[in-house]
């Protein structure tokens, strides 16, 4: 049986080790049939380009996974190097960028095929065609390919029930260094797990609706529990890191997973499960207790904004009060929530410009932290990722997007400034994110003496700044920044 080589390019210059879960998912059907699959992980292997070239001898194809941004850079470098050495080897791109912009992706000379959306069956069918020595891929649904030098998109593939797929072939990845890295960094032996695909919601900034067509499918609860049991034992895990776009779509399934974990007496905790505010706002005490008892310790929600106008613009289907309600009920039940906010959204009208929106968001963040300082707050500057209504609105407002695959590799949160955002606004957000919120959140119990006094003063001032939404006269964080630059660590 022949080989298949799949590459997860690094997602940053110095990436943290990450499990190449997208590739494990895409290769699940082939792995279950016993294909020899080489998974090369650019987040742990700095020689991933040379290693891919070597691995590709006698391979049926090369597969690349890429999100929009930095991953494209490595994806293109490896595709070009392989194209040069093996000019006839088919090169397939999958993952979110290709799914969102299939034409631009397949138009690139180093790409032959792009898979849009779920990759398991499409990759399986492609490999079968090439293995049989054929070249015509036009019958494969949900892909882009070249015909007479032109990009062609085949009809969309029906969203498939994830229970049709076999378990993810974790054994294909070099898992141990990743788990060890996490254990050394205080996260314990934590492993990614995907229990569902898709999301039924239509938030106007998100690419999910375009890529998965607002469909959702979750693995049956019994299967989730038995896979967690297997993984926990096989890899000596402390915890599971859920990467589902929306873990909580089916309440009965979540309850059954929790009961299953309790009945099986699994000793793993589970973290970062994605949820929506309106779903969590409907939980009673019994549900929160069940979550905690089954090991749920943190939940991730897109709170997005403290401005009700903005919540409506992004179609979050929740209110600012719902967000505070979730902060309170989760606190009572010892579950931490990671509230993710996006600021600098495209202005709707004068009343909803970025300054007003940021002020409302800060007020809400202060309200959340007053309820529980241990809730995690993430603030991102809105980056228009293609494939969403808000991206189209951003184009109308003057955003100039890259045109070619190469140029999308520089499209990163850190270096995109939308036309309606000023540098001063960007700096203010940065200060709030990196100084004000963390300083307010610290309990300062780990230090004594003068440092403890300085920290307490900083915490107090940061609290006042959040409370009144005032970030001028910045002597406190100017000093903190200088200290950090000089000592390499914060106060």
Note the residues at the interface with ligand B12 (CB under 6 A): 6, 8, 11-12, 18, 20-23, 25-26, 43, 63-65, 67-71, 92, 94-97, 100, 115, 118-120, 123, 194, 206-208, 243-245, 380, 385, 412-413
- Residue 172 lies near ligand SF4 (rule: CB under 6 A): no
| β-strand pairing of 196-198 with 216-218 | antiparallel
**Which is closer to ligand SF4, CB of 42 or CB of 302?**
302
**Which is closer to ligand SF4, CB of 304 or CB of 476?**
304
The contact mask relative to ligand SF4 for 20-49 (x = CB under 6 A, - = no) is ------------------------------
Instruction: Rule CB under 6 A: choose which of 110, 111, 178, 203 binds ligand SF4.
Output: 203
Q: Which does 31 bind (CB under 5 to 8 A by kind): ligand SF4, ligand B12, none?
A: none
- Report the nearest approach of ligand SF4 to the CB of residue 203 (Å): 3
Q: Which does 292 bind (CB under 5 to 8 A by kind): ligand SF4, ligand B12, none?
A: none
Q: Pick the piece of the chain touching ligand SF4 (CB under 6 A) from 25-33, 106-114, 181-189, 196-204.
A: 196-204
- Residue 206 lies near ligand SF4 (rule: CB under 6 A): yes
Q: Which does 8 bind (CB under 5 to 8 A by kind): ligand B12, ligand SF4, none?
A: ligand B12
Q: Pick the piece of the chain touching ligand SF4 (CB under 6 A) from 33-41, 53-61, 164-172, 199-207.
A: 199-207
Site size for ligand SF4 (CB under 6 A): 10
Q: Which does 411 bind (CB under 5 to 8 A by kind): ligand B12, ligand SF4, none?
A: none
274 forms beta bridges with 300
Site for ligand SF4 in 259-288 (CB under 6 A): 276
- Residue 383 lies near ligand SF4 (rule: CB under 6 A): no
The 3-class SS string of the chain reads CCEEEEEECCCCCCCCCCCCHHHHHHCHHHHHCCCEEEEEECCCCCCHHHHHHHHCCCEEEEEEECCCCHHHHHHHHHHHHHHHHCCCCCEEEECHHHHHCHHHHHCCCCCCEEECCCCHHHHHHHHHHHHCCCCCCCCCCCEEEEECCEEEECCCCCCCCHHHCCCCCHHHCCCHHHHHHHHHCCCCCEEEECCEEECCCCCCCCCHHHHHCCCEEECCHHHHHHHHHHHHHHCCCCEEEECCCCCCCCHHHHHHHHHHHHHCCCCCEEECEEECHHHHHCCCHHHHHHHHHCCECEEEEEEECCCHHHHHHCCCCCCHHHHHHHHHHHHHCCCEEEEEEEECCCCCCHHHCHHHHHHHHHHHHHHHHHHCCCCEEEEEECCCCCCCHHHHHHHHCCCCCCCCHHHHCCCCHHHCCCCCCCHHHHHHHHHHHHHHHHHHHCCCCCCCHHHHHHHHHHHHHHHHHHHHCCCCCCHHHHHHHHHHHHHCCCC
Q: Which does 324 bind (CB under 5 to 8 A by kind): ligand B12, ligand SF4, none?
A: none
**By C-alpha distance, which of 28, 34, 35 is closest to 166?**
28
**Which is closer to ligand B12, CB of 206 or CB of 368?**
206
- Report the nearest approach of ligand B12 to the CB of residue 325 (Å): 24
Q: Which does 115 bind (CB under 5 to 8 A by kind): ligand B12, ligand SF4, none?
A: ligand B12
Is residue 142 left, alpha or beta, with left meaning phi > 0 and alpha meaning psi from -120 to 50? left
- Residue 245 lies near ligand SF4 (rule: CB under 6 A): yes
- Residue 67 lies near ligand SF4 (rule: CB under 6 A): no
User: Do residues 447 and 439 make contact, with C-beta atoms less than 8 angstroms apart?
Assistant: no
Instruction: Rule CB under 6 A: choose which of 120, 208, 322, 336 binds ligand SF4.
Output: 208
Q: Pick the piece of the chain touching ligand SF4 (CB under 6 A) from 122-130, 197-205, 289-297, 459-467.
A: 197-205
User: Do residues 68 and 402 make contact, with C-beta atoms less than 8 angstroms apart?
Assistant: no
- Residue 387 lies near ligand SF4 (rule: CB under 6 A): no
Q: Which does 26 bind (CB under 5 to 8 A by kind): ligand B12, ligand SF4, none?
A: ligand B12
- Report the nearest approach of ligand SF4 to the CB of residue 441 (Å): 25
Q: Which does 95 bind (CB under 5 to 8 A by kind): ligand B12, ligand SF4, none?
A: ligand B12
**By C-alpha distance, which of 47, 38, 31, 30 is closest to 121?**
30
- Report the nearest approach of ligand SF4 to the CB of residue 221 (Å): 21
- Residue 117 lies near ligand SF4 (rule: CB under 6 A): no
- Report the nearest approach of ligand SF4 to the CB of residue 337 (Å): 15
Q: Residues 64-75, buried b or exposed e (16+ Cβ, 10 A)?
A: bbbbbbbbbbbb
- Report the nearest approach of ligand B12 to the CB of residue 58 (Å): 18
- Residue 201 lies near ligand SF4 (rule: CB under 6 A): yes
Interface residues toward ligand SF4, by CB under 6 A:
199, 201, 203, 206, 208-209, 245-246, 276, 302
């Amino acid at each position: 049986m022949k080989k298949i080589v799949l590459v997860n390019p690094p997602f940053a210059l110095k990436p943290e080790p990450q499990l190449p879960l997208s590739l494990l998912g895409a290769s699940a059907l082939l792995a279950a049939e016993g294909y020899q699959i080489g998974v090369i992980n650019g987040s742990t292997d700095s020689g991933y380009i040379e290693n891919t070239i070597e691995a590709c001898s006698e391979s049926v194809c090369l597969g690349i996974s890429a999100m929009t941004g930095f991953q494209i850079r490595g994806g293109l470098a490896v595709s070009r190097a392989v194209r040069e050495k093996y000019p006839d080897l088919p090169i397939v791109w999958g993952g979110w960028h290709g799914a969102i912009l299939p034409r631009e992706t397949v138009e690139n000379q180093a790409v032959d095929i792009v898979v849009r959306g779920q990759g398991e069956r499409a990759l399986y069918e492609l490999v079968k065609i090439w293995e049989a020595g054929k070249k015509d891929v036009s019958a494969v649904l949900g892909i882009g390919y070249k015909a007479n030098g032109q990009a062609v998109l085949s009809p969309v593939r029906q969203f498939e029930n994830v229970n049709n797929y076999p378990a993810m072939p974790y054994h294909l990845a070099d898992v141990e260094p990743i788990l060890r890295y996490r254990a050394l960094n205080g996260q314990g032996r934590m492993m990614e797990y995907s229990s569902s695909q898709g999301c039924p919601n239509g938030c106007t900034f998100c690419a999910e609706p375009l890529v998965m067509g607002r469909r959702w499918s979750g693995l049956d609860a019994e299967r989730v529990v038995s896979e967690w049991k297997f993984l926990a034992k096989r890899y000596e895990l402390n915890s599971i890191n859920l990467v589902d776009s929306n873990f909580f779509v089916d309440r009965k399934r979540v309850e059954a997973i929790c009961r299953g974990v309790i009945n099986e007496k699994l000793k793993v905790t589970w973290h970062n499960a994605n949820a929506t505010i309106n779903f969590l706002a409907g939980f009673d005490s019994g549900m929160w207790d069940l979550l905690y008892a089954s090991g749920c310790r943190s939940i991730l929600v897109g709170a997005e904004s403290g401005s009700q106008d903005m919540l409506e613009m992004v179609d979050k289907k929740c209110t600012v009060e719902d967000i505070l309600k979730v902060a309170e009920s989760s606190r009572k039940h010892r579950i931490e929530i990671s509230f993710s906010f996006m600021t600098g959204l495209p202005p709707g009208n004068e009343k909803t410009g970025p300054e007003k929106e940021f002020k409302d968001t800060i007020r809400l963040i202060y309200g959340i932290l007053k309820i529980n300082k241990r809730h995690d707050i993430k603030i991102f500057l809105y980056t228009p990722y293609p494939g969403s209504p808000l991206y189209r609105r951003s184009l109308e407002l003057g955003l100039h997007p890259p045109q070619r695959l190469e140029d999308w590799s520089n499209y990163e949160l850190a270096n995109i400034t939308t036309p309606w955002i000023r540098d001063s606004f960007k700096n203010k957000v940065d200060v709030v994110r990196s100084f004000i919120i963390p300083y307010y959140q610290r309990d300062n119990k780990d230090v004594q003496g003068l440092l403890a006094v300085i920290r307490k003063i900083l915490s107090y001032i940061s609290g006042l700044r959040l409370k009144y939404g005032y970030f001028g006269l910045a002597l406190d964080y100017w000093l903190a920044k200088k200290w950090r630059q000089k000592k390499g660590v914060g106060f």
